[in-house]
Amino acid sequence: MGQSTKTKKLDTKQVARKISQLIFLALLIIGVYMDIRMVIIILLPASLIFGNFFCGWACPYGTAQEFMAKIGKLFIKKRFKMPRKIQKYLQYLRYVLFAILMIGIIDVVLNYTNGYGTFMQFFSNNITPAASTISIIIMVSYLIISIFFERPFCNYLCTESAKYGILSMTRVFSIKRNEDTCINCKKCDKACPMNIEISTHSHVRNGQCINCFECISACPMENTLSFGKVKISLKRNKE
């Protein structure tokens, strides 16, 4: 009783995010993205407080995967979502790959399969001829899979996002869920491109979260999901 559904209005958060994504994608296409790369790096330490904004707002390859997903939604009613039993283990794969990369084991193989790196090099004209064919085929394959499955590379294979994910575990600003007004419709879970169970959290402190705010936009209840400062508790937040 007393609950009210969310009235339809301009979603300023999503408009701002889309504009940000298009700007960074345009900067890459015109060839100046790499020149401002050092400025973007400031988002890395900022992740300690605000969480991962790079992947959801600034990564051109993430934007490309989202674009392909939009195309998929036009033609495919039921798109694939990783089963929860598999997701809870597979989500750590990118951190394992990141550790392997840091140690220096099979780094050549990882470079060939690095969709993000290939995408950046392709538009920067830095891709080497020897690696170009294999790397581009793999990079394009991730984009094609994105038609059927949300952000496949970001979810499980991106070592770049792993860095932001690790740091964002300490965030003090996060997505919060008001348990009193939540109707457990799970629309937030369905909307999350990183396959996080938002509906089971009082606040999201998950390394997979990219602050895309799709869950907030999908929530039908007023003031149930929001982004803001959360209380730090010694108790482990339910994942």
Ranges of each domain in the chain:
12-167, 171-226
List all residues 6 or more positions away from 37 whose beta carbon is below 8 Å from its beta carbon.
Answer: none
Please write the tens of the pLDDT for every residue from 165-203: 999 988 999 999 999 999 999 999 999 999 999 998 888
* pLDDT for res 108: 66
List all residues 6 or more positions away from 145 whose beta carbon is below 8 Å from its beta carbon.
Answer: 152
* pLDDT for res 239: 45
* pLDDT for res 106: 65
Amino acid (one-letter) located at 230: V
- Summarize the confidence of residues 144-159 as an average pLDDT: 94
What does the alpha-carbon distance between residue 166 and residue 239 come to, in Å, rounded to a whole number? 15
* pLDDT for res 230: 85
CATH class of 171-226: alpha beta
Question: Would you say 225 and 174 are in contact if contact means Cβ atoms under 8 Å apart?
Answer: no
Length of the chain equals 239
Please write the tens of the pLDDT for every residue from 7-53: 667 789 999 999 999 999 999 988 888 788 777 778 888 999 999 99
